[in-house]
Chains A and B, each alone.
Chain A
Amino acid sequence: MDFQVVVLAGGFSKSLVPLVSKEVPKALLPVANRPVLSYVLDLLEQKNLKDLIVVVEGESAALAVSAWISSTYIDRLHVQVAAVPEDVGTAGALRAIHRRLNAKDILVVSGDLVCDVPPGAVAAAHRRHDAVVTALLCSAPVSGPSDSGSSGAKDKAKKPGRYNIIALDPTKQFLLHIAAGAEVEKDIRVQKSILRAVSQMEIRADLMDAHMYAFKRSVLLDVLNQNETYQSLRRDVLPYLVRSQLRSELLSNGVQSDENGNGTDAMQNIKILPSQLLANASTPSFHELFALGPDGSASMTRKTHKCCVYIANKSKYCARLNSIQAFSDINRDVVGDANHLSGYSFSAHNNVIHPSAVLGSKTTVGPQCVLGDGSLMVDKCSVKKSVIGRHCRIGSNVKVVSSVIMDHVTIGDGCSILGSVICSNVQLQERVVLKDCQVEAGFVVTAGSEYKAESLAKQEKL
């Protein structure tokens, strides 16, 4: 496949403090005891996309990611790790590495994506329509604990503010409008010219932009070069392409750089239309009809380009690790409902306990749990719906529910951990009670303390 894959792995995401640190950039945060980046890389590897560029923000993060990739994927993937300055944004990152892009189409994937949608489907949709951009859309995940039935209605109510507002044509193949739900102030503004051309559009708030895009390289580079201020693919480049789809300036400018013989649009349309009719193929899309001009003659052709979407099936799992809440949710789902993603084989009790882990007497590990290698649990512990990393030492009478515990964590007797995230090398002394907390790596929680919905980090960092 003539696709080049760029994985945007980010750097130290501020929204994930205190989970991220110098040693653990966002891409290496563990999801069921594997770095989140491995989910994307595995997905690509499965689909035989082995030639990748991984873009990381910041030199130190790049080193960390690079070290991990070379140790894990040494014989499996051909990966170039590129470091770009911090805070250049996704568009800036692509601008920085544009010299390395040489394929006709570029598949851009966010490194924090955990999903099982085949990238090939996106690529195929992209090719089928000869689109300039194709975005993967998936159903917006329901945040928060999904097991309590009553929360469904509540989640629905707060959903629209956070995800995307997306307008599609009636065939659900073309993207007509996109806006981030949180950024829309008051009104959703839809261009009349597009609505006129397409007659009917569907505006949906239940879809999420999954940050997997296929771009036509020539167009992408044109847009990046012409608009130096564009920072983000999601916020700048994609909306620009969608907005200008019926009055494209791109392909005409891109002709000289387009070695793939994409000619002018007018020529293309005249070629396409009769051939489609002869082949009894699908009816021409509204772009083609619009491009032909209102009188149907070729005298007044207009330039258009297509922005397509691939909507993932509802049964597919798709989530982005871009907040602490998402981190907990994804960990929960990967060991729970979407456990085929984790790559582990679950036992009859629907959990994974590494053979080298040691459990004391009367210690129970419930379903939807993962216990890493070398971890030790003393007597009368109870673990439910949680992920516990490698080489953790957990004292007696400890309760862990709906939490993520990373590697090398020491937990004293009688602790109770509920809905929390505990980073590597943390020490919890006796009888600590944590509820909905995040504990920074290396932190020591003194005996008997109780915290609720707090972020525990070292003082000097604040």
Chain B
Amino acid sequence: MVAKKGGNRGEDAEDELKREPLQAILLADSFATKFRPITLERPKVLLPLVNVPMIDYTLAWLESAGVEEVFVFCCAHSKQVIDYLKNSKWFGQPNFAVSTIESHDSISAGDALRLIYERHVINGDFILVTGDTVSNMPLIQALKEHKERRRKDNNAVMTIVIKQSKPSSITNQSRLGTEELFMAIDPGTKQLLYYEDKADDRKGTISLDKGLLMDNASISLHNDKQDCYIDICSPEVLSLFTDNFDYQHLRRHFVKGLLVDDIMGYKIFTHEIHASYAARIDNYRSYDTISKDIIQRWTYPLVPDVQFFGNCASKLERRGMYRASEVGLSRSAQIGPFTVIGNGTSIGSNTEISDSVVGEDCVIGSNVSIEGCYIWNNVTIENGCKLRHAIVCDGVIMKSGAVLEPGAVLSFKVVVGQQFIVPAYSKVSLLQQPVIKDSDEELEYDDNSSGIIGIPSISSTPEKLNDQFGTKLSDSQRRAGSEVGDGGVGFIWSLGEGGHEEEWRHSVAPIPADKLIEIIRTATDELEISNQDGNFLPPSGELEPDSVDNDSDEDARDDYSYFEKEVEATFLRAVHENVKEDHIILEVNALRLSYNLTSTDCASALFYSMMKLASDTPHDTPGELVKNVATVITKWKQLLKDYLSSIDEEIEVILKFEELCLESTKEYTPLFVQVLHLLYDQDVIQEKAILDWASEKEEAEESDKLFLKQAEKFIQVCINILK
């Protein structure tokens, strides 16, 4: 850091805070596809959250927390985001500079940060957030801690904000619909030591490196914390992303990379907030949860009846109901608790609305029942419709009697036909579901493939929108209509890779009770299974060495048979293509090295290949077979001898031959002595090897001595020769 020279460090810190304007990077792209199909037409940060675009919450919080300069990184629908910001009041604030950085080819947060690094706009510690963060936390304390740590230890590059939140014991997901998070934190220094968010459920244990306990006498493991995705970073973070160009995801790559690989000793710390609110909209469930939190005023001052930039205040009434000034409400309509009704909306008679958000200029007919829904702007709901826990985007028309079952999402301008029932968890869009080309790429949106050129910004008037869509939809309208009922327009998307099974996890609808019971049941089963497993677990919880040995034994055997096959193939190629002996030796040696075997194995494998070749060569009588063997051995004995450097290898060859006679090529059984003699004559094996083999066999069982007896005379000859 720059300010290190001064005498009084405390003063320095304050100076520093004053001198350098506090900067923030706001990623206006989540680089995820969780909000599809809505995000095909509008970027996630501009989606209304309790009638205010998400990005306004984030910017309002950053401003109130003392951030002076914000760089908004736009990628998907960058034009829409920039247009929105230009027309908003955020540009031109006296002490709050908002500028945009546009990119068209970033596919991850990593790319975004690398691009920002190249721009050289960040010159001190900065706040890194995404544009879907809702928070009211003060940053001063966290920043102070971060800077103090930095002064002591230059490697403390990042402070992440966490909050108490116990995941459900049934579904193992947090109330925000995110996966449960396991963290290990040093209780004294608050250093983050372990981070696991994509929990692998099959693994019942968390593995902490033993080295962690070398440095820390105690560490705390947490399953009750939530990551707020608010990070206070030092400039090194940007350069780290540039140095490690494969880092894409902030948590999965960057945090894990720093924790596991221990790069340069960089450290990450945590800051836990207790009283204030911080959460990120990651999926439909968190959209629902955070909306309710806003309505219930946990996010004060970011609540509907307090005017902050971009929204028009509504009035808080009894039972947590917010109503804008101009609402056309029928006398007989019942507006339930925790509901927000936007400006210019009219509601017909006998309509019941509860726990819902209704946007601006909506027309809701009579006898409509709405519960737990998020209805955006300019929506028309005709008489007798029923909506449960659904998201209805701008400009949707629901014809009379249509029904939305829990978890349904209607994207922009969808028309639901009369009496049509949209099934639970279905997503309806005017756009056809893109064919999944490459699942690796987590693109929120691809400018060219979506097929829409001039996406209207939300400042456009409804008429204009209708015109544009009217021309474009002419062709597909009829086809699409059939999917959402009579007179409807839209495609029902088939469910994503997760399938129907997983949809309930991240939907706006509460998890159905029968699902919960099902999970409890499977969980108990699993417990029982793991219980049984537990009994087999060796006492210390480590793998027993025995079992490892068994595995490796099997591997070794497998290895040898593969090796033998490869050697045979090599040899046959040599025979048929007249490859030079030297080359075969080279190839066999290479094989030997890659399988990690000895030259004895090479000898026996080569011998096996030769005998196989001899027996495969057509022959009628045993005599001809012996001739074949003689030809092959004569031709290739040099090669074989190359591997017969000692008596041991020669014995191995005899043993291999024995095995061959007994198992694979029974033809040789009566010819054992003849072939043995042949090998002896060709100088492939010496008398000593035969005698050693014989004495080795002496002690074997009677059944194994079959060949020994056959060769008795020959052995006698050998003995005499040696004498």
Residues of A in contact with B (beta carbons under 8 Å apart):
156-157, 160-161, 165, 167, 179-181, 183-193, 195-206, 230, 232, 235-236, 239-240, 243-244, 246-247, 249, 293-295, 300, 302
Residue numbers in B under 8 Å from A204 (CB-CB): 217-219
- From A184, A188, A300, give the contact of B520 (CB < 8 A): A300
> How would residues 190 to 233 of chain B score, 1 for a CB under 8 Å from any chain A CB and 0 otherwise?
00000000010001111111101110111111111000000000
B596 lies within 8 A of chain A by Cβ: no
Residue of B nearest to A185 (CB): B542
Among A183, A188, A247, max chain B CB count under 10 A is at A188
Q: A156-B217, A189-B205 are in contact. List 4 more A-B contacts (CB 8 A).
A: A161-B214, A189-B541, A200-B224, A239-B540
| Chain A residues closer than 8 Å to B499, beta-carbon distance | none
Q: Are B213 and A247 in contact (CB under 8 A)?
A: no
Interchain Cβ contacts under 8 Å between A and B, 20 examples: A156-B217, A179-B540, A186-B209, A188-B208, A188-B212, A190-B206, A191-B204, A196-B169, A198-B223, A201-B220, A204-B218, A205-B213, A206-B218, A243-B537, A244-B534, A247-B528, A247-B530, A294-B170, A294-B520, A295-B170
Q: Does B527 contact A (CB under 8 A)?
A: yes
Complex Cα–Cα for A302 and B210 (A): 32
Is the Cβ of A199 less than 8 Å from the Cβ of B541? no
A67 to B429, CA, bound (A): 91
Kindly supply a per-residue 1/0 record for chain B positions 177-192, scoring 1 wherever the CB is within 8 Å of any chain A CB and 0 otherwise.
0001010100100000
In the complex, what residue of chain A is closest to B218 when comparing beta carbons? A204
Given contacts A189-B207, A196-B172, contact A243 B218 (CB under 8 A): no
State in angstroms the CA–CA spacing of A204 and B172 once bound together: 26
Chain B's closest residue to A184 (CB) is B210
Q: With a CB–CB cut-off of 8 A, which chain B residues contact A189?
A: 205-208, 541
Residue of A nearest to B517 (CB): A295
Shortest distance between the CB of A235 and any CB in chain B (Å): 6
In the complex, A244 Cα to B536 Cα: how many Å?
12
Q: How far is the CB of A251 from chain B (nearest CB, A)?
A: 14
> Are A187 and B207 in touch, CB under 8 angstroms?
yes
- State A414–B436 Cα separation when bound (angstroms): 90
Interface string of B160-183 (1 = CB under 8 A from A): 000000111110100000001010
Docked pose: A206 CA to B215 CA in angstroms: 11
Q: Return the chain B residue nearest A177 by Cβ.
A: B541
Expressed in whole angstroms, the Cα–Cα distance for A244 and B532 within the complex equals: 10
> Which residues in A have their C-beta under 8 angstroms from that of B527?
193, 246-247, 302
Question: Are the C-beta atoms of A160 and B214 separated by less than 8 Å?
Answer: yes
**Which residues of chain A are within 8 angstroms of B205 by Cβ–Cβ distance?**
189-192
Q: What is the CA–CA distance of A160 and B169 in the complex, to the nearest angstrom?
A: 33
Cβ-neighbour of B223 out of A199, A206, A294 (below 8 A): A199
Complex CA–CA separation, A39 to B206 (angstroms): 40
A167 to B219 CA separation, bound complex (whole angstroms): 9
A-chain residues with CB within 8 Å of residue B213 when the two chains form the complex: 160, 165, 181, 188, 203, 205
* Given known A-B contacts A184-B210, A239-B541, A247-B530, A192 and B220 have beta carbons under 8 A apart: no
- Contact mask B661-679 → A, CB, 8 Å, 1/0? 0000000000000000000
| Chain A proximity of B62: nearest CB distance (Å) | 31
**Assembled-state Cα–Cα distance A187/B210 (Å):** 5
- Can you name the residue of chain A whose Cβ is closest to the Cβ of B223? A195
Q: Provide the bound-state CA to CA distance between A167 and B222, in Å.
A: 12
- B217 lies within 8 A of A206 (CB): yes
The answer to whether A235 touches B218 (Cβ under 8 A) is no
Q: Is the CB of B542 within 8 A of A183?
A: yes
Please state if B541 and A195 are interface contacts (CB–CB under 8 Å). no
CB contacts (< 8 Å) of A205 on chain B: these are 213, 216-218
CA distance A160 to B167 in the complex (A): 32
Which chain A residue has the least Cβ–Cβ distance from B222?
Answer: A200
Cα of A302 to Cα of B524 in the assembled complex, Å: 9
Assembly CA distance A300 to B221 (angstroms): 27
Given the complex, which residues of B lie within 8 Å of A167, measured CB to CB? Answer: 221
In this assembly, does B10 line the interface, its C-beta being within 8 Å of a C-beta of chain A?
A: no
- How far is A326 from B625 in the complex, measured between Cα atoms in Å? 75
Chain A residues touching B, majority SS = mixed
Q: How far is the CB of B565 from chain A (nearest CB, A)?
A: 36
Q: Using Cβ atoms and an 8 Å threshold, which residues of chain A touch B530?
A: 193, 247
A192→B218 contact, CB < 8 A: no
Give the interface centre of A165, A189, A197, A239 by most chain B CB atoms within 10 Å. A189
Q: Which of these, B220, B528, B537, contacts A203 with CB under 8 Å? A: B220
Question: Any chain A CB within 8 A of the CB of B531?
Answer: yes
**8 pairs of A and B residues whose beta carbons are closest in the complex:** A187-B207, A199-B224, A189-B205, A204-B218, A236-B539, A206-B217, A205-B213, A188-B208
Closest CB-CB distance, A382 to chain B, in whole Å? Answer: 39
Q: Which residues of A contact B204 (CB under 8 A)?
A: 191-193
A170: nearest residue on chain B (CB-CB)? B220
Assess A188 versus B540: contact at CB under 8 Å? Given A205-B217, A295-B516.
no
Q: Is the CB of B524 within 8 A of A195?
A: no
CA distance A382 to B277 in the complex (A): 70
What is the distance, in angstroms, from B410's C-beta to the closest C-beta of chain A? 33
Query: Is there contact, CB below 8 Å, between A295 and B217?
Result: no
For residue A246, which residues in chain B have a CB less than 8 angstroms away from its CB?
A: 527
A202 and B188 alpha carbons, distance in the complex (Å):
12
Residues of B within 8 A of A181 (CB): 213
Residue of A nearest to B207 (CB): A187
Contact between A195 and B187 (Cβ–Cβ < 8 Å)? no
Is the Cβ of A202 less than 8 Å from the Cβ of B218?
Answer: yes
Residues of B within 8 A of A156 (CB): 217
Taken together as a complex, chains A and B put the C-alpha atoms of A306 and B220 apart, in Å, by 21
For A236, the chain B residues whose CB sits under 8 A away are: 539
Give min CB distance, B41 to chain A, whole Å: 39
- Complex Cα gap A230–B537 (Å): 12
Chain B residues closer than 8 Å to A200, beta-carbon distance = 220-224
1/0 contact trace for B227-269 toward A, CB 8 Å? Answer: 0000000000000000000000000000000000000000000
Q: Which residue of A lies closest to B211 (CB)?
A: A186
In the bound complex, what is the Cα–Cα distance between A329 and B60 (angstroms)?
Answer: 64
> Is the beta-carbon distance between A247 and B531 smaller than 8 angstroms?
yes
| A203-B540 contact, Cβ under 8 Å, with A191-B204, A191-B205 | no
Chain A residues in 8 Å Cβ range of B168? 294
Q: Is the CB of A183 within 8 A of B524?
A: no
Give Cα A193 to B199, complex, Å: 12
Bound complex: CA of A420 vs CA of B712, how far in Å? 68
From known contacts A199-B166, A203-B220, infer whether A235 and B540 are also in contact, taking CB-CB under 8 Å. yes
User: Which residues of the other chain, B, contact A187 by a CB distance below 8 angstroms?
Assistant: 207-210
Chain B: CB-nearest residue to A156: B217
Q: What residues of chain A lie closer than 8 Å to B219, measured between beta carbons? A: 202-204
A181 to B211, CA, bound (A): 11
Which residue in chain A gives the minimum CB-CB distance to B206? A190
Write the chain A residue with the least CB distance to B214. A160
**What's the Cα separation between A183 and B520 when bound, in Å?**
36
Per-position binary interface string of chain B over residues 535-575, scored 1 when its CB falls under 8 Å from any chain A CB and 0 otherwise: 00101111000000000000000000000000000000000
Q: In whole angstroms, how far apart are the Cα atoms of A243 and B199 in the complex?
A: 20
Min distance, Cβ A160 to any Cβ of chain B, angstroms: 5
Please measure, in the bound complex, the distance between the C-alpha atom of A388 and the C-alpha atom of B281, giving whole angstroms: 74
* Nearest residue, chain B, Cβ from A193: B204
Q: How far is the CB of B253 from chain A (nearest CB, A)?
A: 21
A343 to chain B, nearest CB (A): 33
Which residues of chain B (576-622) have a CB below 8 Å from chain A? none
Residues of chain B contacted by A203 (CB below 8 angstroms): 184, 208, 213, 218-221
B413-433 residues with Cβ-Cβ distance < 8 A to A are none
**Contact between A195 and B206, CB atoms less than 8 A apart:** yes
Contact in complex: A196, B223 (CB < 8 Å): yes
Contacts of B541 in A (CB 8 A): 179, 189, 239, 243
| B221 and A201 contacting across the interface, CB-CB below 8 Å | yes
A240 and B537 CA atoms in complex are apart in Å by 9
Residue in contact with A192 in the complex, picked from B199, B224, B524, CB distance below 8 Å: B199
> What's the least CB distance linking B407 to chain A, in Å?
22
A202 B208 Cβ-Cβ under 8 A: no
Shortest distance between the CB of B712 and any CB in chain A (Å):
50
Chain B residues in 8 Å Cβ range of A302: 524, 527
Check A183 against B540 for contact (C-beta < 8 Å): yes
With the chains together, A186 CA to B224 CA distance in Å? 26
